A and B are shown apart, each in its own frame.
Chain A
Amino acid sequence: MSEINYVIEATDLTKQFGDFKAVNAISFNVKKGEIFGFLGANGAGKTTAMKMLIGISNPTSGAANVAGFDVFTQAESIKKNIGYMSQKFALYDDLTVKENITFFGGIYGLSRATLKQKINALIEELGLHDIADNLVGALPLGWKQKLAFSVALLHNPKIVFLDEPTGGVDPITRRQFWEMIYKAAHEGTTIFVTTHYMDEAEYCDRVSIMVNGKIEALDTPKKLKEQFKVTSMNNVFLKLARG
């Protein structure tokens, strides 16, 4: 077992479909409280890698430990100890704000008393008083995503996985969303995030860039820019991502 200095430890993690190595022996660590940006072009293998890390896809080979649990043998424990939200699926549109919180809180085994307290705190924090009983489907996307992030944190997970959480969100709400990310990280939650917005890559403590199943670069945004002798993460990405 590992020391819990690292919330994710991956060594030569590989996923093979037939002859095709979607994820090809990636190794990296993510520290507690770190905001880790997981970048790559469409089809580079990000989603496949993420599925292994959150315990819903078995690796072909290699090793990985997430939140203190092994991806091969303790996938169920991983699921209980992480938070997850994606752009495509986050909340149920035909449940109200309150019902969604209650539902996901229940899934994660929060007690009634804790849940009640959490609901009130959350509605207070996000300023959702007037719409707590409205269907989530009627909310603007930005609100939905902010709520989904809070819901992903309900059970105080060590780490939360965010798969393109801000796609299509307006620029102001997108920034409010990142302020929530900073806050959570500041309070010790580890953030693992994918994004296609390169300004958001700059907000990460460290960034990895996947190309054709491999991690081709991994460092702080500052060092990556120095390494590739460019002025923005967008240009780092453009230099790398076509292999």
Chain B
Amino acid sequence: MSISVNHISKSYKSIQALQDISFNVNEGELFGLIGPDGAGKTTLFRILTTLLIADTGQASVAGYDVIKDYKAIRNCVGYMPGKFSLYQDLTVEENLEFFATIFKTTIEANYHLIKDIYVQIEPFKNRRAGKLSGGMKQKLALCCALIHKPKVLFLDEPTTGVDPVSRKEFWDMLKRLQQKGITILVSTPYMDEAALCDRVAFIQNGELLEIGTPKNIVKEYSKKLYNVKSDNMYQLIDSLNTFKYTYSAYPFGEFVHYTDTRDEFDIKELHSYLKDKGLHNITIEITNPTIEDTFMALAK
């Protein structure tokens, strides 16, 4: 077991940030912690990287206890916080050298780990970190988190605010790191990234809603889901929200994902209801739930 979390709770004054959280991450696994802002993801990361002490419960990382063996953990994990935390007034190269030195290693010793990523920022190696674009900062932070060859890598929302192309490149990079034997715990508010993990845990308001492989989690979705479309999105949502049999109606791209309160229902009835509301070009088709549908059903 690479990460083991047992009944961890943590509160700040009146806010319960984490409530009795338990899960394990296997060695070499790419594990996703999926949840919105304020779910408790960062608190959990800080506990596992020994920067914060839980109120109750135990946790271990790479076989070390987060309290008793905190120094050992700090030597063998890499942590990329959600907020950019490198030295803004050191250059790209200086930051990297600094982190290598702190961990008593050199850039050369573990260059193979960061090569793919570093070559992309190397043209700017003499630029101060504070002057880099968001995407480049993120790449540098990842290099610095990797330079001591960590056993476990903690990435707290590495792709928040990042465009879809850069997000895709970042995940390709994570897959390659995983192949090099590094266990990765990564958090994200983007539901589509959940599908790229071996296993994921859904977290909201400090509670774990579900743990499993992306495939199995989607199977948990118990309702029949329909894609509904028409010529006017605003009126469509409005009409569905006031339909007496609507269980849920959420916009999904060009469609609204609709579920009914009844186990069986006649599509024609919904069709004529929408038509009476003045909508045109109505289509209603059964569709497969996505991870996001599952999350919303659990969070509702």
What is A's interface to B at a CB cutoff of 8 Å? 40-44, 87, 140-142, 164, 167-173, 175, 178-179, 182-183, 185-186, 196-199, 202-203, 221-222, 232-234, 237-238, 241-242
Given the known interface contacts A141-B37, A169-B37, A179-B237, the answer about A238 and B254 at a Cβ–Cβ threshold of 8 Å is no
Given contacts A182-B233, A182-B234, contact A199 B252 (CB under 8 A): yes
Chain A residue nearest to B134 in the complex (CB): A42
CB-CB nearest 3 A-B residue pairs: A170-B36, A168-B37, A202-B253
Q: When the two chains form their complex, are residues A42 and B166 in contact, meaning their CB atoms are under 8 A apart?
A: yes
Closest chain B CB from A179 CB (angstroms): 6
CB pair B37 A42 closer than 8 Å: no
Bound-state CA distance A234–B253 (Å) is: 10
Number of residues on chain B facing chain A (CB within 8 A): 36
Where the two chains meet, the residues of B that have a C-beta atom closer than 8 Å to any C-beta of A are 35-39, 133-135, 157, 160-168, 189-192, 204, 233-234, 237, 250-254, 292, 295-296, 299-300
Cβ-neighbour of A87 out of B161, B163, B168, B192 (below 8 A) = B161
Cα A175 to Cα B134 with chains together (Å): 26
B interface, by DSSP: helix, strand, loop or mixed? mixed
Give the Cβ gap from B140 to chain A, nearest Cβ, in Å.
14
CB-CB nearest in chain A for B241? A179
A42 to B159, CA, bound (A): 11
- A40-B163, A41-B165, A140-B38 known; A232+B233 contact, CB < 8 A: no
Check A172 against B299 for contact (C-beta < 8 Å): yes
Besides the contacts A170-B37, A172-B299, what 7 more A-B pairs have beta carbons closer than 8 Å? A41-B166, A171-B296, A171-B299, A172-B250, A178-B251, A179-B251, A237-B164
Residues of A within 8 A of B295 (CB): 171
Bound-state CA distance A173–B234 (Å) is 16
Q: What's the Cα separation between A199 and B293 when bound, in Å? A: 13
Given contacts A171-B296, A172-B300, A185-B234, contact A234 B164 (CB under 8 A): yes
The answer for the CA separation of A171 and B192 in the assembled complex, in Å, is 11
What residues of B have a CB within 8 angstroms of the CB of A202 in the complex?
253-254
